Amino acid sequence: MSNNAMVSRVENDRVLILERVFDAPRDLVFKMFKEPEHLKRWWGPKGWEIPVCTVDFRPGGVWHYCMKCVDQNLGEFFGMEAWGKGIYKEIMEPERISYTDFFSDAEGNSNDSMPSTEITLEFIDVDGKTKLISRAEYVSAEALKTVMDMGMLQGITETWDRLSEFVESLK
């Protein structure tokens, strides 16, 4: 494993903490999370694309997106769409973004049958590289287990792999 591998741990049974170092400057990594044309290039697991992505990057603003599976090798997922939205709570450029993450529909209505998540992303400058720390707080241990059972950790790992490749291609 390289030192750019993702490290994950759970706190208090319901907070998932992920850390990874990206070989790119902090301003660049931060920018990847704020501009839709960048998010479209890397957001989502391998084999998924983002046909829809709107970002109103300010506290109270909404990020709304659709992930669509375009890889036939992913079997039953092929052609599937998954909608999500975030509502930004705090933005401190280029250090921190916090938002509430929801499963949603194409109109942006939250899917209340799925747990929402409080997410804080912290961007730390480490000698020209960027340490990204994601802290995702779920309402309960059960809610965290639900998304873990859905394969979320693998999905985030693949998403961050794509981010890593993308920022390195831009340097």
Omega of the bond leading into 25 within 30 degrees of 0 (cis): no
Count Cβ atoms below 10 Å from residue 2 Cβ, excluding itself.
6
Q: What pLDDT is recorded for position 115?
A: 80
The HSE-up count of residue 77 (CA atoms within 13 Å, CB side) is 15
Q: What pLDDT is recorded for position 39?
A: 96
Residue written as tokens 């902090």?
A: 26
Whole-number CA gyration radius for the chain = 15
* 59 neighbors 88 (Cβ within 8 angstroms): yes
Burial class for 31, CB neighbours closer than 10 Å (0-12, 13-18, 19+): middle
**Integer Cα distance of 55 and 72 in angstroms:** 29
- Provide the 3-class DSSP secondary structure of residue 46: coil
Q: What pLDDT is recorded for position 1?
A: 39
Q: What pLDDT is recorded for position 3?
A: 57
Question: Which is nearest to 49 in space by CA: 162, 161, 152, 149?
Answer: 162
Q: 119-134 pLDDT, tens per residue?
A: 999 999 999 999 999 9
Backbone angles phi, psi at 58, to 5 degrees: -160, 160
Instruction: Give the per-residue SS3 of 47-81.
Output: CEEEEEEEECCCCCCEEEEEEEECCHHHHHHCCCE
pTM equals 0.93
Q: What pLDDT is recorded for position 5?
A: 85
**Integer Cα distance of 62 and 86 in angstroms:** 6
Which residues of the chain are under the pLDDT cut of 70? 1-3
Architecture of the 28-152 domain? 2-Layer Sandwich (3.30)
